[in-house]
Chains A and B, each alone.
Chain A
Amino acid sequence: MNEVHPVLEVEALVKSYTSRHGAGDGGRRNAVDGVSLSIAPATTLALVGESGSGKSTLAFCVACLEKPTSGRIWWNGLEVSLLTEKDLRPNRSRVQMIFQDPASAMNPRWTASQIIAEPLVIQNQLTRRDQFDQAQLLLERVGLPANAGSRRLAEFSGGQRQRIAIARALALDSKLLILDEALSALDCSVQAQIANLLLDLQSSSGISLLFITHDLAMAAHLADQIAVMDRGKIVESGTADEVIRHPEQEQTRMLLAASSCLGRATPESRDA
């Protein structure tokens, strides 16, 4: 293979959990049940599904934060599912994750600059001075005011915290950002601001996004490809166009109908 490797490739991924109160099937349940997908450089894959469909478990597995039960994972052609933790660590910077509640993954007593520079400190890159300068550049890149660096977490709004999380994820020049419901807790107006920031970053730096959401309208807006997940399996996938225009599965139609914006924000249906 001498063509460009996909940023992420997953083959037949299974993650099962054993529950103590497991019913019937010996207490084992496949949270992710044979999922294969791939993401090309500078593109966005939206993973859509209801809570409990296995989206987050899949995200944790592809980010190597959980060990899959079986299946293979490649980051830029490197098969990370074979690596030991020690060999994996220098490569971890390639894939970064952003959560719905960014504050839960940040030290509240640190300043924004410290939070953003942390990956640089961990990877032991640059001098102290350059780490700080780099953090300052990242702050500006995600649209935070220049003086934000010296402020602490409590002084930032939800949208600004999400910007800090994005800045931190960008600190190491990663190739893939996994956004696990990263917009869901934000106001509609702030969602639009962060969505614009993601589009900007993608066009300027060619980063790929795995955008996990239950909001099919936002998925349709941001993604090149959409995959619909239900009970651990990908039940439908394709280009955003195909999936939205010609949904084949009941699950997709249901998500479309429930999606917050496609046809619902305009209350035409109300006075029918």
Chain B
Amino acid sequence: MMADAAPKSCVRPLMPALLEVRDLCVDYGDRSGYIRPALDGISFDIQRGEILGVLGESGCGKSTLALALLGLLPYGGIVRRGNIKFDGRELRDRTEREMEDVRGARISLIFQEPSIALHPMIRVGEQVARVIRAHETLARRKRHEKALGVLGEVFSSESERIYSSYPHQLSGGQRQRVLIAQAIACRPALLIADEPTASLDSSTESEILTLFAALQQKLGIALILISHNPAIISQLADRILVLYAGRVVEEGPAVKALRSPLHPYPRALLRAIPGSSEPALLTRKTKLPAIEGAPPDLSTLNHGCRFEPRCSDRMPECTSREPLPVEPQENHKVACFKYGG
């Protein structure tokens, strides 16, 4: 899968994209009328069966993007502008009732914290069966057989024991697998995983990522993998989208964009990780080249590039206006004045 994943993104697809997001803008407002933008002009496509990695630090809008795609923004959040076209149909035109048929059946979401997403008092098999009940008319017995079958797809063994377990009897990795079972039970076309391994240790993390790769290959599900960790994204993604302060700063093929990113932000982000550019032992006990400062407050933005205050490559024109995305290399877009933006 790894070997043939790379070329896929280089070929212009003939079929329309599974998901087309255009100029998506999301704001959060509160009762006093204070408005804080969270996403500003996000555009991207995702093809059937493709894995798109969304990389960015906390507060850059990654989770807002996931929630906005599913129409699940919390109170105060509104989509101010833009289009979300899924399978050829605009999602924003749909009523809440119609969205319920989409969520969990056509697009599924996996949250970061599996212990919160599961009901503590219901056996996990029943919780998988309830997702099936929400979308399909099946006899009780058939439904439970199906739920058991789905658990069998995500657990290599013991799926029957898991089926009748309560969440507290399972480990973090097992709970995450149950959430994945719920998410794929109705064979969605798109799965959105928001920091799916945030609470897991490193070996469980790689097991879960391997499972995603296997499911994507077996079921042809497209995946949006959201993470702050380039290492996680590099393992799975065909293509990546780098978000900074609510905007896309870079988009390109994962292997290329993670090995030699164009935009100063992902470049600095990779440098800050011990062992990413040279072995951690060689740089031991020396200062890591951290990106100083923090992402800007989006309610008080200046005119220029949003990364300019923290950027080591800043130029005079960076404060004049926001850079526009340009495509200096094929299928590899960047929003930075260094490339003409």
Contact = CB atoms under 8 A, between A and B. Distances in A.
Residue picked from B5, B58, B204, B206, most chain A C-beta under 10 Å: B58
Contacts, number: 146
Nearest to B286: A199
A270 B255 CA distance: 7
B281 A195 contact: no
Interface string A234-272: 000000110011000000001100111111111111111
Given A220-B275, A220-B280, A261-B275, A188 B230 contact: yes
A192 interface: yes
B202 A214 contact: yes
B280 A157 contact: no
A189 B272 contact: yes
Contacts of A50: 201-204
A195 B204 contact: no
A189 B290 contact: yes
Given A220-B284, A259-B202, A265 B6 contact: no
B276 A261 contact: yes
A263 B275 contact: yes
A190 B281 CA distance: 20
SS of B interface (majority): loop
A36 to B, nearest CB: 24
B195 to A, nearest CB: 10
A201 interface: no
B65 interface: no
Nearest to A223: B284
Interface in A200-230: 214-218, 220-222, 224
A189 B57 contact: yes
B201 A214 contact: yes
Nearest to A261: B275
Which one of A52, A214, A241 has the highest number of Cβ atoms from chain B below 10 Å of its Cβ?
A214
A267 B259 contact: yes
A188 B229 contact: yes
Contact of A262 (B234, B280, B294): B280
A123 interface: no
A193 B58 CA distance: 15
B254 interface: yes
Nearest to A51: B201
Contact of B274 (A51, A189, A195): A195
Interface in A155-207: 157-159, 185, 187-193, 195-196, 199
Contacts of B139: none
B228 A240 contact: no
A267 B57 contact: no
Interface string B201-236: 111111000000000000000000000111110110
B164 interface: no
A271 B255 contact: yes
Interface string B183-206: 000000000000000101111111
Contacts of A245: 281
Interface string B254-277: 110011000000001110111110
Nearest to B7: A271
Contacts of A264: 231, 234-235
A221 B280 contact: yes
A138 to B, nearest CB: 20
B73 to A, nearest CB: 21
Given A214-B202, A259-B202, A221 B274 contact: yes
Contacts of A216: 202
A262 B275 contact: yes
B272 A260 contact: no
B231 A265 contact: yes
Nearest to B254: A267
Contact of B285 (A218, A222, A258, A268): A222
A258 B275 CA distance: 13
A199 B272 CA distance: 15
A44 B145 CA distance: 53
A271 B269 contact: no
Given A270-B6, A271-B3, A240 B273 contact: no
Max count, chain B CB within 10 A of own CB: residue among A190, A195, A244, A260: A260
Contacts of B296: none
Given A260-B229, A260-B232, A199 B275 contact: no
Contacts of B286: 199
A157 B59 contact: yes
Contacts of A269: 2
Contact of B276 (A224, A241, A266): A266
A216 B201 CA distance: 11
A128 B58 CA distance: 37
12 contacts: A188-B229, A195-B288, A214-B202, A221-B274, A222-B285, A224-B285, A261-B274, A261-B275, A265-B230, A266-B258, A267-B259, A270-B6
Given A189-B268, A199-B285, A272-B2, 9 more contacts: A157-B58, A158-B58, A187-B57, A190-B57, A217-B273, A220-B281, A260-B232, A261-B275, A265-B273
Q: Which 6 A-B pairs have the closest CB atoms?
A: A192-B290, A221-B274, A192-B272, A261-B275, A217-B275, A220-B280
